[in-house]
């Protein structure tokens, strides 16, 4: 159901890879709600994914950009404002990658140049994106910037590896930059801490299927899907959440506030 929540609003969506990705679902929802946007992803991700189909479906243009490159980001921001005809109202940062996870290196045996690369892509890129927007004065007052995160930033999940550290850094950047963006430009910055979601990135984590089942049993409302997350992101892009900033918002069916669920007790009681 569409409510025209983003009518006339313009923005940039990072990280749409395929129809499983949260950024993809968000782009579809933003389009349904009347928003227009530029899609962007790293050149290598664009070759792997199906972003052209999404651009066609939503009437959007694609600008390839490496989110770790200040030059690429400057170009992306200026081109986006040109294409969209003015300053931006929303930005979604949906980027995460760990070389250690991808290559099966345990957390206690990290290869540090891989760690640095993952941190740069997953966390520092958020600072670079915001610094680029801030310096270009690219955001309209009451604009909204959202990044996707995960609860491994606060609690330990053994196989989440160095991505947990990346997410903790990402959430800190949202608070720190959110202060200056709010104070000086009336722009809000938040992170959404989403349920484990079967995206291409999520499925790279070892034991993911078992974990998603566990989270489903632990959450009173069940896991939040990528579609649910898209809806929540739209609410944060809209004018209905103007005073929400510098928050890490748990969107996980209640998982983060549940100590133990009846299903888990029953599962272990039987054994």
Domain ranges across the chain:
10-270
Q: What pLDDT score does 45 carry?
A: 84
Is there a binding annotation on residue 22?
yes
Which residue among the candidates 3, 107, 112, 160 is catalytic per the annotation? 160
Tell me what the mean pLDDT of segment 24-32 comes to.
98
**Does the pLDDT of residue 187 top 70, yes or no?**
yes
Is there a binding annotation on residue 261?
no
**Does the pLDDT of residue 64 top 80, yes or no?**
yes
Answer yes or no: pTM beyond 0.95: yes
Which residue among the candidates 107, 112, 150, 179 is catalytic per the annotation? 150
Is there a binding annotation on residue 95?
yes
d(CA 113, CA 104): 15
Tell me what the mean pLDDT of segment 114-119 comes to.
98
**Residue 134 annotated as catalytic:** no
User: CATH topology for 10-270?
Assistant: Rossmann fold (3.40.50)
**Does the pLDDT of residue 271 top 70, yes or no?**
no
Q: Which of 78-82, 145-149, 201-205, 251-255 has the lowest mean pLDDT?
A: 201-205
**Residue 150 annotated as catalytic:** yes
């Amino acid at each position: 159901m569409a409510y025209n929540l983003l009518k006339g609003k313009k923005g940039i969506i990072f990280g749409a890879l395929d129809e499983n990705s949260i950024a993809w679902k968000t782009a579809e929802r933003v389009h349904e709600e009347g928003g227009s946007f530029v899609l962007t992803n790293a050149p290598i991700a664009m070759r792997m994914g199906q972003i052209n189909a999404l651009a066609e479906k939503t009437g959007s243009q694609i600008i390839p950009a490496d989110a770790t490159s200040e030059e690429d980001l400057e170009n992306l921001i200026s081109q986006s404002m040109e294409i969209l005809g003015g300053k931006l109202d929303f930005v979604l940062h949906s980027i995460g990658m760990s070389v250690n996870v991808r290559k099966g290196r345990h957390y206690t045996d990290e290869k540090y140049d891989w760690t640095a690369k993952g941190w740069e892509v997953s966390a520092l890129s958020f600072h670079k994106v915001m610094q680029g927007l801030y310096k270009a004065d690219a955001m309209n007052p009451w604009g909204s910037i959202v990044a996707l995160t995960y609860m491994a930033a606060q609690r330990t999940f053994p196989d989440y590896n160095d991505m947990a550290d990346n997410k903790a850094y990402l959430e800190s950047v949202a608070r720190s930059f959110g202060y200056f963006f709010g104070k000086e430009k009336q722009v809000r910055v938040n992170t959404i801490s989403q349920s484990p979601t079967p995206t291409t990135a999520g499925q790279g984590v070892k034991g993911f299927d078992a974990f998603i089942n566990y989270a489903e049993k632990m959450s009173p409302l069940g896991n939040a899907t990528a579609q649910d997350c898209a809806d929540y992101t739209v609410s944060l892009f809209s004018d209905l959440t103007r005073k929400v900033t510098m928050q890490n918002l748990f969107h996980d069916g209640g998982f983060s506030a549940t100590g133990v669920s009846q299903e888990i007790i029953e599962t272990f009681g039987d054994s």
